[in-house]
Structure formats: structure tokens, C-alpha cells
Chain A
């Protein structure tokens, strides 16, 4: 069966510090991968998606970047965090064409102080 893991689960970072969130998927090949962000009590905002190794599409201009160095690995990064980067970050995967189902990782709570 397929599983998705992301880490760290929680982190508190000072403004201006770097960020690296990592996500890996197991049990499937060539998945579509996504990074979403959710502000407290709000909906899900798509940040990046990737349909293959090295292929990254950004949905919104921001202080973050994403990379996919391996087929089942997706990394979210920042060189200098802003207070507004605080939120709940979710990695997700899907395979097509199997409908509208995407599967989320456990999420990472980021607080920038």
C-alpha cells in the first residue's frame, strides 16, 4: 500500500532563518506531488506541484521554493522565513487518471517568531 511521510511535524523558527520540509511517498511510482499551506482556521492553498523529477510549478509568488530531487521525494524550502510563512504545511500525492483523490501527509506546523 502507498504511504506518505513528511517531517518535521512541528517547528518554531526565527524570522530570517532557513526552512526545509521534506516529504517522501512509498508504494507508488511517478506520483504527482503537491505542497499545500493552511493558515489557522482557513482553507487549503496550493503552493507547488510536480508531475516529475525536477519539474516544479509554482502557484503563488512567495518566499518559498520547492524541489524534487528524486521520484518520490518533495522538499519545501526557504532561505529566509517571514512571519507570514507561519502555518500548517501539507504534502500530498496523487496518481492520474484515477479521479480527484489526493492523499495528504501528516502535516508540518511551522511557527515563525
Chain B
């Protein structure tokens, strides 16, 4: 089956850099996505890596290593508003035409002043 593992909680201070790791096991692979969810809100798309390497979007970057079945989300210059849950996700390889995503359990990031 498919599974994703990510830490349950991460704490960092304002202005710092934090890395949230995600390892996955899947029989087929179509890329790794990251979503952000603030408390009480809906998840929103952050980034997507289909190929190895680093993708940068402002203060957020996402990295993928397909040979290691591993990726991470890097948040720089942390702000209080970055306190949220972060989910990694992969497409279900057994349903490639449906767009079904399998999500990790989420990492709760707490940014402290």
C-alpha cells in the first residue's frame, strides 16, 4: 500500500528556518505535494515536486529526492502566521486518472516569538 510519514510537531522561533520532512512508500510515483492548513480552515496548496531538486516559492521551498523516497518543505524567515499544519501528499498510483491524493498525517508547526 501507500504511506507517508512526517513528524507530528515542530516548534521554531520567529525569523528562523524550519524543515519539515516527509518520507513516502508508494508502488508508483507522480510527484510530491505540500499543503498548508491553518487551524479551523481548509488546506491550501503550497508546492509540487515532480522531479528531483528544489522548488522555491518566496519564503517556502520544497525538495524532492525520488531515489530516497524523501522530500521536505523548507520555511524561511518564519512568521507567526506560518503556525499551521503542513501535509505532504502523493497521488494514488492505483487510480492515476482520478487525481486521488493520499495525505500524510500532518505536521503541526508552532512558531514562537
Residues of the A chain whose Cβ atoms lie less than 8 Å from the Cβ of B42? 90, 104-107
Contact A99/B106 with A34-B100, A94-B99, A104-B42 known, Cβ cut-off 8 Å:
no
CB of B98 within 8 A of CB of A32, answer yes
- Contacts of B67-105 to chain A: CB distance below 8 A: 87, 89-91, 97-105
Total interface residues in chain B, CB < 8 Å = 25
Interface residues, chain A, with chain B CB atoms under 8 Å away:
32, 34, 42-44, 46, 49, 51, 57, 90, 94-96, 99-107
- Supplied contacts A96-B99, A99-B48, 19 more A-B pairs, CB within 8 Å: A32-B98, A34-B99, A34-B100, A42-B105, A43-B103, A46-B100, A46-B101, A49-B100, A90-B43, A95-B99, A96-B97, A99-B33, A100-B30, A100-B33, A101-B45, A101-B48, A104-B43, A104-B44, A107-B41
Please tell me if B111 contacts chain A, counting CB pairs below 8 Å. no
| Cβ of B16 to closest chain A Cβ, rounded Å | 24
Interface residues, chain B, with chain A CB atoms under 8 Å away:
30-33, 41-45, 48, 50, 87, 89-91, 97-106
